[in-house]
Amino acid sequence: MNGYLNKIIPFSSVDGPGNRTAIFLQGCNFDCVYCHNPETINHCINCSFCVSFCPVEALSVNREERRVLFNPALCVECDACTKKCHRNSTPKYKVQSADDIMKEIENYRPFIQGITVSGGECTLQAPFLIELFTKAKEIGLTCFIDTNGSTDLREHPELMALTDGIMLDIKVWDKETHRKYIKADNDMVLKNLDYLVDCGKLYEVRTVIVPELFNNEETIREVSKKISGHNIRYKLIKYRHLGVRKNHLNMQTPTDDDMKKLESIAHNLGVLNTIIV
């Protein structure tokens, strides 16, 4: 079975417990106005528009197959191709098998505790995750998922049995605001929040703080009520301009005081395991 892979980060200390390999899959069903990884949203349609913008000719076109070819040996990671893409995609994604990924992970095995799969939205490729996690477990690695919560996790018992922990993004609590700025409902996200708390799989909740758009106090208050009394970390993430897709909204990075005030809401509701990044 093949998966659509955006990239692999060999070592990460922010994607679950310990030192981990972070695997980012391609494709997402949310369309966040503040997305920090917009190149992971859609699949490349091989339109070849990006090819002429590559300064080192790492991109070329196979005319017979009508396909964009990527040569990673020439790439200088300037991101000119993704910046020019009109589809929030990248020509650099790969189609790889679970065995392909595990072969690369073998190079890092002595230095990591496990793998974390993110996206895009990795649960859209649930059968691929099952195969990958099965192989990772065979060599003693723990398996974590970073998800936007849009997939009904109760319908994937095999995947959940293989998963050691979930990091769940809660963008905003209010449904109408979620529809407006995330372009999707959050009903399933909140159902997954309850499910993951009940089954003990929720390792961390993540909320990006965007003061101008969201009622962040409401989101943190309601999430904290759900996770209070459980050993679940709440990560509050500052919105930052770096890497964000272009838009006409006046979004600003919250101040340290703003973040501390929001953290105090969680603390007052009994959620003491918090982190600000």
Question: Are 193 and 70 found together in one domain?
Answer: no
Residue 50's identity, in one-letter code, is C
Q: Does residue 219 sit within a domain?
A: yes
CB 273 within 8 A of CB 233: yes
> How many domains does the chain fold into?
2
* Residue-by-residue pLDDT tens, the chain, 277 positions: 899 999 999 999 999 999 999 999 999 999 999 888 899 999 999 999 999 999 999 999 999 999 999 999 999 999 999 989 988 999 999 999 999 999 999 999 999 999 999 999 999 999 999 999 999 999 999 999 999 999 999 999 999 999 999 999 999 999 999 999 999 999 999 999 999 999 999 999 999 999 989 999 999 999 999 999 999 999 999 998 876 766 778 889 999 999 999 999 999 999 999 999 9
Residue 24 sits in a domain of what CATH number?
3.20.20.70
Question: Are 151 and 251 found together in one domain?
Answer: yes
Rounded CA-CA distance 21/7 in Å is 11
Q: Does residue 120 sit within a domain?
A: yes
Question: Are 184 and 74 found together in one domain?
Answer: no
Q: Name the residue range of residue 249's domain.
A: 2-40+93-276
Residue 61 backbone phi and psi in degrees, to 5:
-125, 130
CB 21 within 8 A of CB 115: yes
Q: Does residue 45 sit within a domain?
A: no
Question: Are 161 and 270 found together in one domain?
Answer: yes
Prior bond to 120 cis, omega within 30?
yes
Q: Select from 61, 84, 107 the last residue of a domain.
A: 84
Question: Are 195 and 240 found together in one domain?
Answer: yes
CB atoms within 10 A of CB 51: 19
Question: Are 174 and 56 found together in one domain?
Answer: no
